[in-house]
Amino acid sequence: MKLEFYNTSGRKIEEFVPVSEGKAGFYCCGPTVYNYAHIGNLRTYVFEDLLRRVLAYAGYEINHVMNITDVGHLTDDGDDGEDKMEKSARETGRTVWDIARHYTDAFFNDTEKLNIIRPEVTCTATEHIQEMIDLIKKLEEKGFTYLTGGNLYFDISKFPEYGKMALIDRQNLQAGARVAVDENKRNPGDFVLWFTKSKFENHVMLWDSPWGKGYPGWHVECSAMSMKYLGEHMDIHCGGVDHIPIHHTNEIAQSEGASGKKWVNYWLHGEFLLLKKAKMSKSSGSFLTLTSLEDMGFDPLDYRYFCLGGHYRSQLIFSEESLEASKSARKNLNERILKLKERGESGDLEKLDGKALEYLESFRTHIARDLGVSRGLSDMWQLLKDPDVCDEDKLSIVLDMDRIFGLSLKDVKAEEKEGDPEIDALVEERNRSRSEKNFARADEIRDELLARGIEIKDSPQGTVWERK
């Protein structure tokens, strides 16, 4: 199966050709664990999970690496502001280590509920300080750094390709930067590799280094850890679009500066989830978490289904009404799957032909073309509604598609059908009336249920009901 992705580097769709045949290695910028992930962040992790599933579906052996940022990410993506972890600790009266543990657990709890497959490697910044120091030393030896005001900076003027992936115009970068936030910087685009002179005297997380006791800049952690686990030349790097101009641009400068060669072949960026009225942001305090959606009565998979409906490179507008629509679509889907299961086993995928095969092929074409999962979802609905395809084939195809959707369709069971105590009681009363030979009442109940769109089926195993 030939895959194609839109590469931010070069801004075009390209065929995926892995560095090593049959293998796909990719790195995703993980969460900064100073707060709960908001549903915007989670959209990005769903997108990365879809990428992973598509690669695996196409037969690649996956090595997915994701970092956990537990130090060094300032409240501004440049070098301004305060360390997010330290700020959260100060505000809540907890230690930074407690904060990190708590929000890391909460993050994995959320991703598990969303059926996001856990990456092969998850690595924390605080456990890779030595790798970061080694990388910075390489950059220092090659003349990319300068030490001033106590901090070690990366000098972007030494890296001629700076900003190429992000299409940053270096002339404008310099002229357009009216005020350099940090007056120690030779160029406003320079960034800190290692902080020793913190503006925050009581910074708790400090490590010894050749440049003094301090802590690493945020960008260097991703370069150091991705190269440790995926080598100096890797297939794919992902993140949200906000990372293009600063974080990923700086990561490229450091990684390619240190190794002297091309680092990442394909850059994939997920667009933002927007709230109808406000911008979703952790720092503004106005954000929705998965738990808030659950409190509103949604299943986490309703949110996953909602994410599947938009292409990862398009902005997605979130509203309660659209999540409500996803919820009923998913309910409908589960009911259809249940019916198919009740009618028989799934067929053999290898033996598909005719229209059934066309649906599967259309789905595969869509997902292979820059993760067209929302189109794949339409293929699935068309298939389910097509009277010309038999139930066994429908079931086998949809379960195969669910390897990408991740909606747990193979686990849909009769008990999971939404219970309704009122209907259950009526069905029971009808059974009792029948056994008491009160057929008039039994028929009355059947008619009443039919009027509500509920069909009763009597079988040797008992009576079951379903919505038509």
**The entry of ligand AMP, Zn ion, none that residue 43 binds, CB within 5 to 8 Å by partner kind:** ligand AMP
Per partner kind, with CB cut-offs from 5 to 8 A, the member of Zn ion, ligand AMP, none near residue 240 is ligand AMP
User: Under 8 Å CB-to-CB from 183, ≥6 apart: which residues?
Assistant: none
Q: Residue 301 binds which entry of Zn ion, ligand AMP, none, with Cβ cut-offs from 5 to 8 Å by kind?
A: none
Based on CB atoms, which residue is closest to Zn ion, 166 or 409? 166
Closest CB 343 distance from Zn ion, rounded Å: 48
Minimum separation from the CB atom of position 66 to ligand AMP (A): 10
Which C-beta is closer to ligand AMP: that of 275 or that of 464? Answer: 275
Cβ 292 to ligand AMP shortest distance, Å: 15
Chain residues that interact with Zn ion, rule: CB under 5 A: 29, 222
**Partner from ligand AMP, Zn ion, none binding residue 132, C-beta < 5-8 Å depending on class:** none
Give the pairing of strands 151-154 and 23-28.
unpaired
Least distance in angstroms from the C-beta of 267 to ligand AMP: 13
Of the pair 122, 259, the CB lying nearest ligand AMP is at 122
Binding-site partner at residue 40 among ligand AMP, Zn ion, none, CB < 5 to 8 Å by type: ligand AMP
Phi, psi angle pair for 105, to nearest 5°: -60, -45
Give the residue nearest to ligand AMP (CB).
240
Distance CA 396, CA 403 (A): 11
Q: Is the distance from CB of 256 to CB of 264 less than 8 angstroms?
A: no
Shortest Å, Cβ 303 to ligand AMP: 13
Residues in the chain: 468
**Choice between 264 and 407, CB closer to Zn ion:** 264
Q: Which residues sit at the interface with ligand AMP, rule CB under 6 A?
A: 29, 31-32, 40-41, 43-44, 239-240, 242-243, 270, 272-273, 280
**Residue 273: CB minimum distance to ligand AMP, A:** 4
* Cβ proximity to Zn ion, 219 vs 394, nearer residue: 219
Residue 41 interacts with which of Zn ion, ligand AMP, none, CB < 5 to 8 Å by class: ligand AMP
Residue 44 or 88: the one with the smaller Cβ distance to Zn ion is 44
CA separation for the pair 80, 83 (Å, rounded): 9
Q: Which of ligand AMP, Zn ion, none lies near 280, with the C-beta cut-off 5 to 8 A by kind?
A: ligand AMP
**Which is nearer to Zn ion, 69 or 326 (by Cβ)?**
69
- Rounded to the nearest whole angstrom, what is the least distance from the CB of residue 456 to ligand AMP in the complex? 46
Question: Which strand (E) or helix (H) includes residue 240?
Answer: strand 234-240
Helices 300-308 and 373-385, packing angle to 10 deg = 100
Nearer to ligand AMP, 315 or 332 (CB): 315
Taking the complex as a whole, the smallest distance from the CB of residue 21 to ligand AMP amounts, in Å, to: 29
| Among ligand AMP, Zn ion, none, residue 222 binds (CB under 5-8 Å by kind) | Zn ion
Element at 374 (helix H, strand E): helix 373-385
CB-count burial class (<10 Å; 0-12, 13-18, 19+) for 164: middle
Q: Which of Zn ion, ligand AMP, none does residue 44 bind to, with CB < 5 to 8 Å depending on kind?
A: ligand AMP
Least separation in angstroms between CB 283 and Zn ion: 18
CB of 240 to ligand AMP, least distance (A): 2
336 binds, among Zn ion, ligand AMP, none (CB under 5 to 8 A by kind): none
Question: Please, which residue, 41 or 334, has the CB nearer to Zn ion?
Answer: 41
Q: Which is nearer to ligand AMP, 4 or 77 (CB)?
A: 77
CA 341, CA 391: separation in Å to the nearest integer? 9
